[in-house]
Amino acid sequence: MQGIPLDLVSRIDWDQEYGEFLFQQREDKKLSREEVAQAITGLGEPCSQQLIHKIEKWKGKGDRSVSLSLILKYCQILGIELRQFYPVVAQTLSYPLLQKISSLAVDQFP
């Protein structure tokens, strides 16, 4: 299946399976929802503990889309790549977006 470039996407369709993956990754790193929410907010994306809970424990009611920017920052904090659990998205990023993502608080999360 061919994906689409991430720099053309602002929101992605979400599923409980993806949330469970992020939950397990967060638990493995012994990070609280509050710590993740604060770190995401620190990267310029407004976030709360409640939003992290909603993403991780998705019930599939209402709008199933989430901000790609938020999910990319969540992945950055966890040290994982989006393609590990969301393979529909293209594996390559445009250079400007890759630069932007790479420069986001690299020093904050060794």
Q: 65-91: per-residue pLDDT in tens?
A: 888 889 999 999 999 988 887 766 544
- Better pLDDT: 106 or 21: 21
Residue 15 within a domain: yes
- pLDDT at residue 107 greater than cutoff 90: no
- Domain of 21? 10-86
Tell me the average pLDDT across 5-29. Answer: 83
Residue 17 within a domain: yes
Residue 107 within a domain: no
Q: How many domains does the chain have?
A: 1
Residue 63 is part of a domain; what is its CATH number? 1.10.260.40
Q: At residue 8, what is the residue type?
A: L
- The per-residue pLDDT of the chain, averaged, comes to 78
Residue 26 within a domain: yes
How far apart, in whole angstroms, are the C-alpha atoms of residue 16 and residue 11? 16
Tokens coding 45: 């994306």
pLDDT-derived band at 105 (thresholds 50, 70, 90) equals very low
Q: Which residues contact 56 (CB under 8 A, 6 or more apart)?
A: 19, 20, 22, 23, 26, 33
Residue 94 within a domain: no
- Where b means 16+ CB within 10 Å and e means fewer, 2-13 reads eeeebbeeeebe
Tell me the average pLDDT across 8-28. Answer: 86
